[in-house]
Amino acid sequence: MGLYNLTLPESNPRSRTSTETRKVPAVLPAPASEALASKAISDMMLSATVRSSVWLMRIMKLAIFLVVLLSGCRAGWQHPDRVIASLRISPGDHVADIGAGDGYFTFLLADAVGPEGMVYAVEVTENKVRKLSKRVERDTYANIEVILGKLDDPLLPDGTVDLVFLCNTYHHIENRPAYFSQLRTDLRQHGRVAIIDLRDDLSGIPRLFVPSGHWTAKGVLYEEMEAAGYVHMSSFSYLPVQNFEIFSARDEGSTQLQTDLSNALEPMGTQQIAEYVGHVSSETTRLYTHFNLEESRKRIERLAIRFWLEIWTQRACEKLSD
């Protein structure tokens, strides 16, 4: 507020005609630029408030996602009961839980195999092995054996495992074709490998939560397991953020079934039968996985006999028509 020299009339009536100079404060209107600046500041504060609200909502959503992911609500998106049912475990089976962690699936697998079965819970750090062992002892599970494995070898007993199960572990393994190729020595002839791993096409909040590289593309998974000597058996799409794939080892049992089928059809000796053998041979491994060796051979024999009868009937009809 400035001081300005203003000439005012003398207040004394005796000197109305005279004047004197006084210094008085002048109250002037704010410049237009100050009004614009005030409005700009208000707009900036409003914009900052809106942006803060948006980020606050994002943080709240992320916090909710983390709570759901890390708390008991995991069952809402992991569907553990449905996963166990999809694995088609039989009582008495031996199952390996590689990367067992805190045992989320370990104890469900132990319940599935029953007292006659066995679950090998594999971890690669002593701290996790110690914690999981304490829980196994506390909950008195006699059919769970906790194993301190190596990064390149789970140290499972050879030739005893019916199913190897991995949940969010596959992407941590280095040189996976070599790892799973070696793992075949631990499997029984009809052994399977079930892999659940985070998808590579996640978006939104789940993608923000998952660290870079902690997922596996389905195509990469197929290629690596094929290179390790496995065939793809089945896929399940009900898990919202994970792939769920099951593979079976290409072993001597399935090769023997293909040989048996070829031998059963060989006497017919036609190109048509050869093509048929090639078609059916691709299905023998799948058939072998669901039945034991003897039952599979019986089914293959019945299949071959049925086809032979079809060919014989066709040839007989051709001769009759000549």
DSSP characters for 131-155? HHHHHHHHTT-TTEEEEE-BTTB--
More confident residue, 168 or 317: 168
Q: How many other CB atoms sit within 10 Å of the CB of residue 113?
A: 21
Determine the average pLDDT of the residues in 272-293: 50
Q: C-alpha 97: how far from its chain's center?
A: 15
Using DSSP's 3-state secondary structure scheme, residue 16 falls into coil
Instruction: Report the distance separating Cα 5 and Cα 23, nearest Å.
Output: 5
Of 55-69, 134-148, 154-168, 184-198, which gets the smallest average pLDDT?
55-69
Determine the average pLDDT of the residues in 276-288: 50
Q: pLDDT tens-digit profile of 106-116?
A: 999 999 999 99
pLDDT surpasses 50 at 249: yes
| 158 DSSP assignment | T
- Rounded to the nearest 10 degrees, the angle between the axes of helix 176-183 and helix 218-227 is 50
Q: pLDDT tens-digit profile of 142-170?
A: 999 999 999 999 999 999 999 999 999 99
More confident residue, 307 or 194: 194
Looking at the chain, the whole-number percentage of residues with pLDDT higher than 90 is 43
pLDDT surpasses 80 at 279: no
Domains contained in the chain, CATH given: 75-250 (3.40.50.150), 253-321 (no CATH)
Beta-carbon contacts of residue 171 (< 8 Å; ≥ 6 apart) = 197, 198, 213, 214, 215, 216
- Band (pLDDT 50/70/90 cuts) for residue 130 is very high
Structure tokens at 139: 């909950």
Instruction: Report the distance separating Cα 114 and Cα 118, nearest Å.
Output: 8
Instruction: Report the distance separating Cα 132 and Cα 122, nearest Å.
Output: 10
pLDDT surpasses 50 at 22: yes
**What does the pLDDT read at residue 199?**
77
Instruction: Report the distance separating Cα 115 and Cα 189, nearest Å.
Output: 23
**Angle, vertex CA 201, rays to CA 88 and CA 214, nearest 5:** 75
Looking at the chain, the whole-number percentage of residues with pLDDT higher than 70 is 50
Instruction: Report the distance separating Cα 122 and Cα 118, nearest Å.
Output: 13
Instruction: Report the distance separating Cα 93 and Cα 162, nearest Å.
Output: 6
- Band (pLDDT 50/70/90 cuts) for residue 29 is low
Strands (E), the chain: 3-9, 19-25, 94-98, 118-123, 144-148, 161-167, 187-198, 230-236, 242-249
Look at the pTM and tell me if it is higher than 0.85: no
- Band (pLDDT 50/70/90 cuts) for residue 188 is very high
**What does the pLDDT read at residue 288?**
47
Of 17-21, 34-38, 95-99, 219-223, which gets the smallest average pLDDT?
17-21
